[in-house]
Chains A and B, each alone.
Chain A
């Protein structure tokens, strides 16, 4: 998860903590994690466990993990991972950063352990600056995603993204980050070719980790983009960290999502269950040609969304492709289904054009 890494690296640099990042998620991380994970746990638990093992092997003695208060299983990941890793013989300290909704100290105490003597105020300022970076990275990712189909020189776009992310990573002050962001967005915009039109418009919804980590979603964004499909995504990292915040990267604030999803799912069910329904309806209302729903096997909130999506599909007449991913899923299977889905959408679009 590229944007998360830039944000956290910035945070640890500012806190002056010696850190090591495990290599990017790979099949090695997955098989390491899956080997000792509980069988029925969801994919993100298994792969983050693999990341942890790689980090420990690279010399880390402390693991920092996010927490949560439910009802999604993610909030209990760190506890389970701690048990499983200890049983496998690893020695380490696990720090869980809990959301501050049940007391600020749940959030601050891991950081105060890492950087002894830091005041809550100083910590807040650092976290805010790092978060700004995370948001800037998200905005660049969004711009690249949504402009991908309008750009002829795809390589140049990829290169530009890399450059901009590097500049954001190096930026120190608030102004530097904003400047890097501004220049990046402008140059990405200038790459657009006016006459190029998207073949199709597809929205991607689903579970957070699966949408954000190219390794587990088989880089479908790149694949679809290279086919000339205009893409939008429902979840961005910084929206997830501050869900009700202003200037949402994903396009819809929590309140709007709830309102959109209300006729179908009027209850927050944890994770991205409601976000998935809300964004699907938003995509349908904005005349997208189709929606792709990604979820890890046994993910509870997304399973609720999956059982409700057929009703959304009926009412809004929008095709939805559901892809369930676990450690057994192969790239070829996913690509075949994507190809078939694109073919169907194109045929449908042509037929509708002829009819009108």
Chain B
């Protein structure tokens, strides 16, 4: 039995969990290749043109997994009480099922609004397709969560250990940041400039939770909370020198989160913010120009601020956020 794992969307969050889980149960996993032009084209062909880039890429990855027995597309409805993921992730298995010429879909429903027992049952039912021993399934799941924890801890330490140079925070969904094809290799481009990068993964989950619960109405999308909470924390504390907000065109939750984040950026003006909207037509040159301008501005500003001009004029001169769409 070969199970295919598409390298897109929630892959960047839970891959280590699922891979370990399947392997412990003696199931071979096949990972789709890293995103490329071919995958994008295949995805664009089978998705409605109005849907966001990450979902298009996801469909491309699914199509790249043709010689497997099953494709693993978990239906992640909710990962915490009182909040959902994103409607498109809720409907993902159905979208894949509706696409012609694909292997059957393996789609357990992960829904924490229905409680922990519902989740345990979903995991058991998933494992029961490959093993008759409940103990083995339980151990496989435990190994999976351990692997995921290790990975998360490593990410957190990675973010904290970096010192020197400029500190730039990137707020976005992991599938935008780490898919170098979607982000047009943004991470590499930034690293070239002697800049260290922070993401929401380097923050304690408690901090994010505290920040978002201070909003007048709590957000009901878990992953959007991470985006908004991280941006808010950095804007308030000034722990980074600048924030790049990466969002994909036609992303529903981000279209509203953008208003929240930019509103806070106007209230806390000490950290510059740049919003970058990406879609399948984004070009590398445009991104590079904006990135360079943004980094130059921050560098100059730091230089001026370190000169301690007593009139305060120069600090004001360098202040302000760059906005680009």
From 187 to 210 in chain B, residues with beta carbon under 8 angstroms from any chain A beta carbon are none
Our pick among A40, A304, A314 for the contact of B251 (Cβ within 8 Å) is A40
Q: Chain A residues with Cβ under 8 A from B216's Cβ?
A: 79
From 299 to 325 in chain B, residues with beta carbon under 8 angstroms from any chain A beta carbon are 325
Binary contact readout B240-258 vs A (1 if CB under 8 angstroms, 0 otherwise): 0000000001111111101
**Closest residue to B254 on the A side, CB-wise?**
A40
**Closest residue to B47 on the A side, CB-wise?**
A307
Q: Chain B residues with Cβ under 8 A from A299's Cβ?
A: 252
CB–CB A83/B255 < 8 A: no
CB–CB B220/A75 < 8 A: yes
CB–CB A300/B87 < 8 A: yes
CB–CB A300/B252 < 8 A: yes
Name the residue among A270, A299, A307, A308 with the largest chain B CB count within 10 angstroms.
A307
Given the interface contacts A300-B87, A304-B95, does A267 sit within 8 Å of B109 by beta carbon?
Answer: yes
30 interchain pairs (CB within 8 A)?
Answer: A38-B256, A38-B259, A39-B255, A40-B249, A70-B84, A70-B221, A71-B220, A73-B255, A80-B260, A84-B259, A87-B263, A264-B94, A264-B97, A264-B98, A265-B91, A265-B94, A266-B94, A267-B93, A269-B87, A269-B91, A270-B84, A298-B252, A298-B255, A299-B252, A300-B87, A304-B94, A304-B95, A308-B97, A311-B98, A322-B48
From 238 to 285 in chain B, residues with beta carbon under 8 angstroms from any chain A beta carbon are 249-256, 258-260, 263, 266, 277
Tell me whether B77 is interfacial, beta carbon within 8 Å: yes
Q: Chain B residues with Cβ under 8 A from A76's Cβ?
A: 217, 219-220, 256
Given the interface contacts A70-B84, A71-B87, A79-B217, does A303 sit within 8 Å of B50 by beta carbon?
Answer: yes
Tell me whether B31 is interfacial, beta carbon within 8 Å: no
Tell me whether A203 is interfacial, beta carbon within 8 Å: no
Tell me whether A324 is interfacial, beta carbon within 8 Å: yes
CA distance A297 to B277 in the complex (A): 17
Q: How far is the CB of B102 from chain A (nearest CB, A)?
A: 11
Name the residue among B86, B97, B256, B266 with the largest chain A CB count within 10 angstroms.
B256
Q: How far is the CB of A294 from chain B (nearest CB, A)?
A: 13
Q: Chain B residues with Cβ under 8 A from A265's Cβ?
A: 91, 94
What is A's interface to B at a CB cutoff of 8 Å?
A: 38-42, 67, 69-73, 75-76, 79-80, 83-84, 87, 96, 102, 264-271, 273, 297-301, 303-304, 306-308, 310-311, 314, 322, 324
Shortest 8 CB-CB contacts between residues of A and residues of B: A70-B220, A304-B91, A40-B255, A311-B98, A71-B84, A300-B87, A300-B252, A308-B98
CB–CB B221/A38 < 8 A: no
CB–CB B47/A38 < 8 A: no
Tell me whether B122 is interfacial, beta carbon within 8 Å: no
CA distance A276 to B97 in the complex (A): 17
CB–CB A273/B87 < 8 A: yes
CA distance A69 to B84 in the complex (A): 9
CA distance A267 to B74 in the complex (A): 12
Given the interface contacts A38-B256, A298-B252, does A308 sit within 8 Å of B95 by beta carbon?
Answer: yes
CB–CB B50/A297 < 8 A: yes
CB–CB A307/B252 < 8 A: no
CA distance A270 to B85 in the complex (A): 11
Q: Chain B residues with Cβ under 8 A from A83's Cβ?
A: 259-260, 263
CB–CB A71/B86 < 8 A: yes
Tell me whether B160 is interfacial, beta carbon within 8 Å: no
Q: Chain A residues with Cβ under 8 A from B50's Cβ?
A: 297-298, 303, 306, 324
Given the interface contacts A269-B91, A270-B87, A303-B88, does A73 sit within 8 Å of B252 by beta carbon?
Answer: yes
Q: How far is the CB of A189 from chain B (nearest CB, A)?
A: 40
Given the interface contacts A38-B255, A70-B83, A300-B252, does A267 sit within 8 Å of B91 by beta carbon?
Answer: yes
B interface residue count range (under 10 / 10 to 19 / 20 to 34 / 35 or more): 35 or more
CA distance A271 to B109 in the complex (A): 20
Q: Chain B residues with Cβ under 8 A from A69's Cβ?
A: 82, 220
Q: How far is the CB of B217 from chain A (nearest CB, A)?
A: 5
Our pick among A72, A266, A307 for the contact of B48 (Cβ within 8 Å) is A307
CA distance A70 to B109 in the complex (A): 18
Our pick among A75, A270, A308, A322 for the contact of B90 (Cβ within 8 Å) is A270
User: 13 extra interchain contacts, Cβ-Cβ under 8 A, other than A71-B221, A83-B260, A300-B88?
Assistant: A40-B254, A40-B277, A69-B220, A70-B83, A79-B215, A79-B216, A83-B263, A267-B75, A267-B77, A269-B90, A307-B47, A308-B91, A308-B95
Q: Chain A residues with Cβ under 8 A from B220's Cβ?
A: 69-71, 75-76
Name the residue among B50, B84, B99, B220 with the largest chain A CB count within 10 angstroms.
B50
**Closest residue to A305 on the B side, CB-wise?**
B91
**Closest residue to A299 on the B side, CB-wise?**
B252
CA distance A99 to B139 in the complex (A): 42
Q: Chain B residues with Cβ under 8 A from A264's Cβ?
A: 94, 97-98
CA distance A96 to B47 in the complex (A): 35
**Closest residue to A102 on the B side, CB-wise?**
B82
**Closest residue to A296 on the B side, CB-wise?**
B50
Q: Chain A residues with Cβ under 8 A from B219's Cβ?
A: 76
CA distance A248 to B315 in the complex (A): 63
**Closest residue to A326 on the B side, CB-wise?**
B50
Binary contact readout B138-182 vs A (1 if CB under 8 angstroms, 0 otherwise): 000000000000000000000000000000000000000000000
Tell me whether B34 is interfacial, beta carbon within 8 Å: no
CA distance A307 to B77 in the complex (A): 18
Q: How far is the CB of A263 from chain B (nearest CB, A)?
A: 9
**Closest residue to A69 on the B side, CB-wise?**
B220
CA distance A270 to B87 in the complex (A): 7
Tell me whether B128 is interfacial, beta carbon within 8 Å: no
CB–CB A71/B255 < 8 A: no
CA distance A314 to B101 in the complex (A): 13
CB–CB A38/B263 < 8 A: no
CA distance A67 to B99 in the complex (A): 34
Q: Chain A residues with Cβ under 8 A from B277's Cβ?
A: 40
Given the interface contacts A84-B259, A267-B77, A297-B50, does A308 sit within 8 Å of B94 by beta carbon?
Answer: yes
Q: Chain A residues with Cβ under 8 A from B325's Cβ?
A: 39
